[in-house]
């Protein structure tokens, strides 16, 4: 990562470590806000329209108003000034600062607080080693709130799961709902493969509608995979041929071990590799399209 990411706070550019958030900001007090994280390849924002549509939906679901056209112009301007070619964009919108700490929304509504920051990667492919070797995961209870389809900044339950994984020396925590089924990772989407069929949790309020997840499902259709929106559980692991994660920063990464137990052969499986290759081929094709439009 670059030493000091460039930030845009309500339209003003500054190094991220110089940004100050008001104490009465409702994001700071209540987690009253939404966010998006977007991948930059060769100076272009991947799946920007998809992320923007999800952002708009999250805002609607929380009755949080923002000028998304203006915000998109700010994002573009910040990216140009950053000079980042490969990296990450983090964007967050909160309901702004209220007159005091009251739980109900301020009336009349004040202006939202809008943050963008852009952070460069040290290499163009920071996940290459994980993708080649595969990663380990651990299981953890899914303690998140009931509207996981909203990309809210309320992430304490995710942080607890991620901390559990870190202490265990694992890459990710796989979340388990009260019925014993896997939902997703603490910051990724989860897929399994059995007998050539791709399994993933059905869309709904129980999981985040991942942009990379939706992109992967399109790729699966293109290469002829059958998809079943059926949740998996720990009882399925002995019969699973492959298990993998997707995400904005993770891309497509195979899981080779869960809670210390091997998944199949303990190596990244052929379908996972095929989907990962298809992902990167599509990124390269998209970049070619971007270059012809400039």
* Closest of 252, 260, 162 to residue 210, by C-alpha: 252
Tell me the H-state helices in 62-201: 68-82, 128-133, 156-167
Which residues, in sequence order, are CB contacts of 100 under 8 Å at separation 6+?
Answer: 24
**Residue 83 backbone zone (phi > 0: left; psi -120 to 50: alpha; other: beta):** left
Measured CA to CA, the distance from residue 23 to residue 90 in angstroms comes to 21
DSSP state of 106: P
Which residues, in sequence order, are CB contacts of 243 under 8 Å at separation 6+?
Answer: 137, 190, 191, 192, 193, 237, 254, 255, 258, 263
Q: Please give the structure tokens belonging to residue 123.
A: 């290499």
- Can you state the percent helix, strand and coil of the chain, rounding each to 5? 35, 30, 40
Q: Please give the structure tokens belonging to residue 233.
A: 């559980």
Which residues, in sequence order, are CB contacts of 128 under 8 Å at separation 6+?
Answer: none
Torsion of CA 46, 52, 58, 59, to 10 degrees: 150
* Active site amino acids: 151
Measured CA to CA, the distance from residue 194 to residue 178 in angstroms comes to 24
Pairing of strands 182-185, 172-176: antiparallel
- Bridge partners of 35? 92
């Amino acid at each position: 990562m670059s030493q000091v990411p460039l930030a845009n706070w309500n339209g003003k550019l500054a190094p991220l470590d110089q940004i100050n958030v008001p104490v009465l900001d409702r994001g700071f007090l209540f987690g009253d806000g939404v966010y998006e994280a977007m991948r930059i390849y060769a100076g272009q924002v991947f799946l920007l329209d998809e992320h923007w549509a999800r952002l708009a939906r999250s805002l609607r679901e929380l009755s949080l108003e923002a000028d998304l056209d203006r915000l998109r112009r700010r994002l573009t301007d910040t990216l140009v000034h950053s000079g980042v070619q490969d990296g990450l964009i983090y964007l967050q919108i909160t309901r702004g600062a209220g007159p005091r700490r009251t739980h109900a929304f301020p009336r009349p509504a004040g202006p939202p607080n809008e943050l963008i920051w852009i952070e460069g990667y040290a290499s163009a492919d920071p996940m290459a080693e994980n993708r080649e070797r595969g990663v380990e995961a651990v299981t953890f209870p899914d303690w998140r709130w009931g509207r996981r389809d909203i990309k809210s900044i309320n992430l304490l339950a995710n942080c607890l799961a991620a901390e559990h994984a870190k202490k265990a020396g694992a890459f990710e925590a796989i979340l388990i709902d009260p019925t014993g089924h896997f939902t997703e990772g603490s910051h990724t989407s989860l897929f399994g493969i059995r007998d050539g069929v791709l399994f993933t949790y059905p869309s709904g309020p129980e999981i985040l509608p991942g942009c990379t997840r939706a992109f992967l499902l399109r790729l699966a259709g293109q290469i002829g995979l059958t998809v079943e929106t059926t949740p998996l559980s720990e009882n399925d692991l002995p019969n699973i041929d492959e298990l993998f994660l997707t995400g904005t920063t993770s891309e497509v990464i195979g899981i080779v071990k869960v809670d210390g137990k091997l998944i199949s052969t303990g190596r990244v499986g052929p379908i996972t590799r095929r989907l990962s290759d298809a992902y990167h081929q599509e990124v390269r094709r998209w970049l070619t399209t971007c270059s012809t439009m400039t």
